[in-house]
Amino acid sequence: MNVNYCLPKLLATWSIGLSLLVLGTGCQQTLEPPSDSSAQAQTPMSSTITVDGSSTVYPITNEIAQEYQLLDTQKPQIDVSVSGTGGGFRKFCAGETDISNASRPISKSEMETCKQAGIRYIELPIAYDALTVVVNPDNDWASDITLAELKKMWEPDAEGQVTTWSQVREGWPDEPMILYGPGEDSGTFDYFTEAIVGESGDSRKDYTASEDDTLTVRGVSRDLNGLGYFGYAYYEENLTQLKAIEIEGVAPSRENVVNSEYQPFSRPLFIYVNADALDAKPELESFVDYYLTHGRQFVKVAGYVALSDEIYNLAYEHFVDRRVGTVFEGEAQFGLTIEELLQKEAEF
């Protein structure tokens, strides 16, 4: 396997009770044969399986790909790369990849781009994550923060204006606030800004941005006045270098994801699979089959929250039945019940 992006191995174990939200029988369309050859022309046809997208999902897919390769020396080459969720979807909708890792649902513009290109996709939730806000471990003033304070920090109007900790909360020091976070191609960036500011992509620009979450870890761990955000597994991997802060009095943890208390930062993680490539490349179908039937154990190894067996079974049904589309309407969904999400019709 050729891995084009290096991250430290992430180790942690927790489980999930929220994962029913994106799957349910009857919520997606049944795939029909293409009416012309345009979709097939867009399908990668080599013996290599190509994967790109989210840095958050990368450790899961990479772990599974490595283990899959060990099963048989005749297995196809699997290239797993990272360009962020947005960058991954650009390649996916251009027919350049077979699988797109995503830390947010496909957006409306990406749905339209894929549709125009004849790329049909199967949306498969594979884990749950708790987006985590971190500070330097020697920071002795910030142990919790409210959503309103996060908005005050990160909204576009804060750029060049909200620059010290004391401006965010009375009693915090009059020290410069040094912010770190994902770049604009990141699904974590999209999810965070939509949850905090109310519009995906709306954020101040005067912070240290990177698609590589390890650079955020490094920056915050070295800067007493630093603050950043990323997926929970990166915090778990760096417990001695970082301090996670509570959101509205609730800490990111296995228990708080399971009991639905950690809101709005509990989020599903996905892979999107090129539906026509599944038919054209038997090796891709075999790999996705392995991913869904063995994925739970690797999700835990990578440090994320595994879905229940029932949900993995439903995801597998969607894969086998070639049900294409998304139940998320092109944006993250906040505050909806399981029942409401299950009633949604797929869009494509």
- Domain edge (last residue) among 181, 216, 251: 251
Could you give the CA distance from residue 225 to residue 12 in angstroms, rounded to a whole number?
A: 27
Parallel, antiparallel or unpaired: strands 99-102 and 246-247: unpaired
| Helical (H) or strand (E) element with 248 | none
Could you tell me which of 56, 67, 61 has the C-alpha nearest to residue 233? 56
Which two tokens mark 207? 């912070």
On whether both 121 and 23 belong to a single domain, the answer is yes
Could you give the CA distance from residue 189 to residue 191 in angstroms, rounded to a whole number?
A: 6
Positive or negative: CA dihedral 19, 202, 93, 85: negative
On whether both 27 and 99 belong to a single domain, the answer is yes
- Give the pLDDT score at 255: 77
- Do the domain assignments include residue 259? no
On whether both 321 and 220 belong to a single domain, the answer is no
On whether both 120 and 136 belong to a single domain, the answer is no
Could you give the CA distance from residue 288 to residue 273 in angstroms, rounded to a whole number?
A: 8
- Domain edge (last residue) among 221, 251, 281: 251
* Range(s) of the domain holding residue 186: 132-251
Q: Identify the residue whose tokens are 């639905």.
A: 260
- Do the domain assignments include residue 156? yes
- Do the domain assignments include residue 345? no
SS3 14: strand
Claim: this prediction has a pTM higher than 0.85: no
What are residue 278's phi and psi, to 5 degrees? -60, -40
On whether both 226 and 328 belong to a single domain, the answer is no
The string of DSSP codes covering 256-271 is: HHHTT-STTTEEEEEE
Which two tokens mark 320? 């086998």
SS3 294: helix
Could you tell me which of 1, 2, 4 has the C-alpha nearest to residue 211? 4
On whether both 203 and 280 belong to a single domain, the answer is no
- Give the pLDDT score at 311: 78
Could you give the CA distance from residue 100 to residue 123 in angstroms, rounded to a whole number?
A: 10
Tell me how many domains the chain contains: 2
- Give the pLDDT score at 13: 34
On whether both 180 and 74 belong to a single domain, the answer is no
Give all strands (DSSP E) within 3-131, no chain letters: 14-15, 29-30, 49-53, 78-80, 99-102, 121-130
On whether both 238 and 140 belong to a single domain, the answer is yes
- Do the domain assignments include residue 258? no
- Domain edge (last residue) among 219, 251, 283: 251
Q: Identify the residue whose tokens are 């897919």.
A: 61
- Give the pLDDT score at 346: 52
- Do the domain assignments include residue 295? yes
| Angle (CA) 52 62 130, round 5° | 85
- Give the pLDDT score at 19: 37
Could you tell me which of 221, 19, 245 has the C-alpha nearest to residue 131? 245
CA 253 to chain centroid:
17
- Give the pLDDT score at 306: 84
- Give the pLDDT score at 68: 94
On whether both 27 and 105 belong to a single domain, the answer is yes
Region of residue 173 (left: phi > 0; alpha: psi -120 to 50; beta: else): beta
Tell me the CATH number at 48. 3.40.190.10
The pLDDT tens digits along the chain (348 residues) read: 444 433 333 333 333 333 333 344 333 444 443 444 444 444 444 479 999 999 999 999 999 999 999 987 778 999 999 999 999 999 999 999 999 999 999 999 999 999 999 999 999 999 888 999 999 999 999 999 999 999 999 999 999 999 999 999 999 999 999 999 999 989 899 999 999 999 989 999 999 999 888 999 999 999 999 999 999 988 989 999 999 999 999 999 877 876 778 999 988 899 999 999 999 999 999 999 999 999 888 998 888 888 877 778 888 988 999 999 988 876 666 555 333 443 454 554
- Give the pLDDT score at 12: 35
